Amino acid sequence: MQFGLTKEQEMIVSTVRAFVENEIYPHEKMVERTGEVPQEIGEEIKRKCIELGFYACNFPEEVGGPGLSHLEFALVERELGRGSMALNHFFGRPQNILMACNEEQRDRYLSPALRGEKMDALAMTEPGAGSDIRGMKCTAVRGEQGWVLNGTKHFISGAEHADFFIVFVATGEDQTPRGPKKRITSFLVDRGTPGFTVRDGYKSVSHRGYKNMILEFDDCRLPDAQVLGEVDGGFAVMNEWLYATRITVAAMCVGRARRVFDYALAYAAEREQFGQPIGKFQGVGFQIADMITEIDAADYLTLAAADRLDKGLSANREIASAKLYASEMLARVTDAAIQIHGGMGLMDDFPLERFWRDARVERIWDGTSEIQRHIISRDLLRPLGA
Ligand SMILES: Cc1cc2nc3c(=O)[nH]c(=O)nc-3n(C[C@H](O)[C@H](O)[C@H](O)COP(=O)(O)OP(=O)(O)OC[C@H]3O[C@@H](n4cnc5c(N)ncnc54)[C@H](O)[C@@H]3O)c2cc1C
């Protein structure tokens, strides 16, 4: 891996950072207060992102995307991580899994998603199946007139704005020496399809305004044309999606940690107690030193994992390490930043308590910290026969 960014990469960083500072920061307080992103603000962010040429910047040129490398896309996500998730959702990055669309589906879903005309959401998690995806109870049964879906998904982000959904359901079961194993298929489901309902989910303390919703399927009928990828091939497609998005979680954690760090550093230099800046006390100065060391470490892990993908190398363990370390680092950094701010750090007219709340979900979604540790340890132990 080469250290240092090219001029073009520096330009990507400064362009996205300016966008976040000018188009996202000014609306953050309002979104925190109301828990909503007004439609006109979401549309304006989307329009400006399209004008800038960054909409769907996770897609290759062959399908109409800008064709950034994995490392460049991680840089974009790192900058977006500085701002509110609810708002930067409109700096659209459709699910990479849409690359699995066939020609006809590309016209109906992929191309409109890349142009910002349609938004997507991805539904995997169920009330009874989180980490254990194969435990899902949502089913699709093939009848004479196509598929019939039944079941419930929950915690689905971006569902209130989505025009269509990528939904994973069980389409059969195999008997294996380790017990029954579900076969999974992904479907493209349009909002408004009869038998499909989207309803309010739970209120999360992390990322206010970035809502999660519940999807219900009650004898929802879909033709074969809605199968994304191969029938029973959903698990392979799913793994591919998880692979890439975990880097984006890590990159966002790094960006947010740097924003939090800037507050802590400035406060440690300005705030005086006992006649001197608190940063001069070793107890505070050493915390500052530990924070930046951890942020840099998470940054390098994240960019190194992205670089491996660009080189076509396996990166399963490296991505899991980046997601694990960056999300846990963000928790420690936000906690330390509050400690450095004393009581003021907890007051809600100051943004730190928000970053502290927001940090909590990063260790849970897109695979919990325990699942990342499982991936890392299996990657190391399996070749040794353990
Ligand atoms: C705000 C929010 C938005 C989300 N958005 C989406 C979305 O858009 N689409 C979607 O499909 N999902 C989404 N999710 C779901 C998210 O990915 C899951 O919450 C996550 O995978 C964990 O599942 P769970 O919450 O059911 O926890 P569980 O799987 O029930 O885990 C509970 C605890 O048990 C531990 N555990 C479980 N299995 C093991 C094991 N084998 N070894 C050790 N420990 C284990 C976990 O690490 C965790 O600590 C979202 C979640 C949240 C909170």
DSSP states along 6-44: -HHHHHHHHHHHHHIIIIIHHHHHHHHHHS---HHHHHH
Q: What are the backbone angles phi and psi of residue 317, rounded to the nearest 5°? A: -70, -40
pLDDT in tens, 150-192: 999 999 999 999 999 999 999 999 999 988 999 999 999 999 9
pLDDT in tens, 61-80: 999 999 999 999 999 999 99
Average pLDDT over residues 11-34: 97
- How far, in Å, from the CA of 268 to the mean position of ligand 1? 36
Whether ligand 1 lies within 6 angstroms of the CB of 365 is answered as yes
| Percent of the chain clearing pLDDT 90 (strictly above) | 94
- Residue 71 CA to residue 79 CA, distance in Å, equals 13
Q: Which residues contact 285 (CB under 8 A, 6 or more apart)?
A: 268, 279
pLDDT in tens, 357-369: 999 999 999 999 9
Nearest-atom index, ligand 1, CA of 367: 21
Residue with token string 């439609």: 39
Q: What is the mean pLDDT of the chain?
A: 96
Nearest-atom index, ligand 1, CA of 204: 1
Estimate the share of the chain in helix, then strand, then coil, as percent rounded to the nearest 5: 55, 20, 25
Poorest-confidence range of 2-6, 10-14, 87-91, 131-135? 2-6
For helices 282-310 and 234-270, what crossing angle results, to 10°?
A: 150
CB atoms within 10 A of CB 284: 20
Whether ligand 1 lies within 6 angstroms of the CB of 361 is answered as yes
Whether ligand 1 lies within 6 angstroms of the CB of 370 is answered as yes
Task: Copy the structure tokens of residue 240.
Answer: 């591919």
Question: Counting Cβ atoms within 10 Å, is residue 63 exposed (0-12), middle (13-18) or buried (19+)?
Answer: middle
Three-state DSSP class for 67? Answer: coil
Report CA-CA distances (Å) from 184 to 96, 124, 236, 281. Answer: 18, 10, 9, 57
Report CA-CA distances (Å) from 312 to 33, 135, 210, 309. Answer: 44, 32, 33, 5
Say whether pTM exceeds 0.95: yes
Among 95, 97, 125, which residue has the most ligand 1 atoms within 8 Å of its CB, making it the best to mutate?
125
Going by C-alpha positions, the residue among 274, 330, 325 that lies closest to residue 304 is 325
Per the CB < 8 A criterion, the answer to whether 309 and 301 are in contact is no
Whether ligand 1 lies within 6 angstroms of the CB of 360 is answered as no
pLDDT in tens, 206-218: 999 999 999 999 9
Nearest-atom index, ligand 1, CA of 206: 1
Going by C-alpha positions, the residue among 243, 252, 203, 256 that lies closest to residue 367 is 243
> What confidence score (pLDDT) does residue 31 get?
97
Nearest-atom index, ligand 1, CA of 131: 29
